[in-house]
Amino acid sequence: LNPLYAGLPTTIFEVMSGLARTHAAVNLGQGFPDDPGPLDVREAAARAVVDGWNQYPPMMGLPELRQAAAAHYRHWQGLELDPDAEIMVTSGATEALAGALLALIEPGDEVVLFQPLYDAYLPLVQRAGGIPRLVRLEPPSWGMTSEKLDQVFSERTKLVLFNNPQNPTGVVYDRAQMQLLADYCVRFNAYAVCDEVWEHVVFDGLTFEPLMALPGMRERTVKISSAGKIFGMTGWKVGLVFAAPHLMKVLSKAHQFLTFTTPPNLQAAVAYGLGKPDDYFTTMRAGLQRSRDRLATGLKELGFDVLSSRGTYFLSIDLSPQSVSIDDEAFCLDLVKTRKVAAIPVSAFYAQDAVKSVVRFCFAKHDATIDRALEQLAGLA
C-alpha cells in the first residue's frame, strides 16, 4: 500500500456530509447549491443523451465545447485562446489539477502552495514527487506579502498552485496581490497552475481577472475552470484547461491516460450553456450575493464575527473573538450533533500550523434552508 494514501483521512467534505445525514442536520458544509441548476442546460444534456451523443468524444473535448469556451472567455475575461491548441476538456477541475501537477512536476521540484488550501492539492503535489513550500495565510485578510513569498520562492520553484477566488476563505485577490504573485513567477521562472473554478461566483460588482492575463504570465500559466461551478451543478464533472500550446501538448499526455475523455452529452450541454446571455450569469451572482447577505446578517445578529466573502459559495465566522473556547473542529462536531447544522472547520485546509478558529458555511441555499440553520444556531455565540 502506498503510505501517502494509506495515511490520508477521508476528505472533510465527505465526513461532514455523512454526519449531516446521520444527524438529519441542515447541511451548510460541503459546497453545493439547493437549486437544481438552469433548466435549459439540463434539458440540453438530456437531449444530447437521447440524440445519441454517447460514444467516445475526441480526446481534447468536443470541438463545439472548445469553440464555445474560446468565445466565452474572450467575452468575459478578454482572453484570446485557440480552441484547437490551447483548450482541453477534462472530467472536472479535479482531473485537470491532477493532470497539470503530474505533467509539470518532476520529483524533487518545489511547489508553492497557500494555506488554507483546497484539500486535493497537497496529496496530488506529493504523489507527483513535488516538495510543498507552504505559505500560511491568516484571517481576516488572508493576504499575500512579499515577506511571505520571499520565504518560499527560489530557483528550485517549479510552479505555484494558486486558487482565486479562494475556497474556503471567499477572498477574491485584487490586481495588486496578483501582480505581486506574477512578479515572483516571472522572477523565478515558475509556472502557475491557477484554479479559477469560482471565477463566475464573485460579488459586490467585482470583475474577475485571470492570472493568465497579467504581463509575462500567458506562456507560463495553466488556467483551470469547472462547469460544475459555472452552472451550479457540482456533480457535473466537466473541467476546462487553458494553456499555451507548448504546455498543452504535455498536459494532454497526462489527460490521455487519466480519463482520456469526458461524457459527450454533458460536454454538449456545457457548450450550449457557455453561450447563455450575460443576464444568466449576472442574475446567478445577484442571487448568491443575496444569500450571502442573508446568512451573514443572520450570523452577525446572533453575535458571530463574520469574515468578509467576495466570492465562492462560502463565508466564514471567526470564533476567536467569541467566548467559544473550543477549536473549529470540536465546534463543528458539536454543532452538527447538538444544533443539527453542518459546517466545515477551516483547519482542515491546513497541513501545518493551522488557524483553528475559523468555520466555513455554504450559503448557496434557499432562504428557508438558511433561515432554518440560523434558528438552530440561536443562542450559541
Binding residues for ligand PMP (CB under 6 A): 31, 92-94, 118, 163, 167, 195, 197, 226, 228, 234, 237, 239
The one of ligand PMP, ligand GLN, none whose footprint includes residue 30, by CB under 5 to 8 A per kind, is ligand GLN
Is 167 near ligand GLN (CB under 6 A)? yes
**Bond before 321 cis per omega within 30 degrees:** no
In whole angstroms, how close is the CB of 285 to ligand PMP at the nearest point?
17
Note whether 202 and 232 are within 8 A (CB): no
Which residue from 13, 76, 188, 208 is in contact with ligand GLN, where contact means CB under 6 A?
13
Is 132 near ligand GLN (CB under 6 A)? no
In whole angstroms, how close is the CB of 197 to ligand GLN at the nearest point?
8
The one of ligand PMP, ligand GLN, none whose footprint includes residue 291, by CB under 5 to 8 A per kind, is none
Strands (E), the chain: 26-27, 87-90, 110-115, 131-136, 157-163, 191-195, 221-226, 239-242, 305-306, 314-318, 341-342, 344-345, 358-362
Q: Which residue carries 480526446 as its cell?
A: 59
Is 77 near ligand GLN (CB under 6 A)? no
In whole angstroms, how close is the CB of 29 to ligand GLN at the nearest point?
7
Which DSSP string do the residues of 289-312 spell out, in sequence order?
Answer: HHHHHHHHHHHHHTT-EEPP--BS
In whole angstroms, how close is the CB of 96 to ligand PMP at the nearest point?
8
Residue type, 276: K
Taking the least distance from each CB to ligand PMP, the nearer of 116 and 130 is 116
Q: Report how far residue 344's alpha carbon sits from residue 292's, in angstroms, rounded to the nearest whole number.
A: 16
Taking the least distance from each CB to ligand PMP, the nearer of 79 and 98 is 98
Note whether 165 and 172 are within 8 A (CB): yes
**Bond before 36 cis per omega within 30 degrees:** no
The one of ligand GLN, ligand PMP, none whose footprint includes residue 170, by CB under 5 to 8 A per kind, is none
Is 30 near ligand GLN (CB under 6 A)? yes
Taking the least distance from each CB to ligand PMP, the nearer of 94 and 115 is 94
Closest CA to 41 of 223, 240, 277, 261: 277
Taking the least distance from each CB to ligand PMP, the nearer of 302 and 351 is 351
In whole angstroms, how close is the CB of 229 to ligand PMP at the nearest point?
7
Q: Report how far residue 128's alpha carbon sits from residue 269's, in angstroms, rounded to the nearest whole number.
A: 33
* Cell numbers placing 124: 496530488
Give contact residues for ligand GLN (rule: CB under 6 A).
11, 13, 30-31, 167
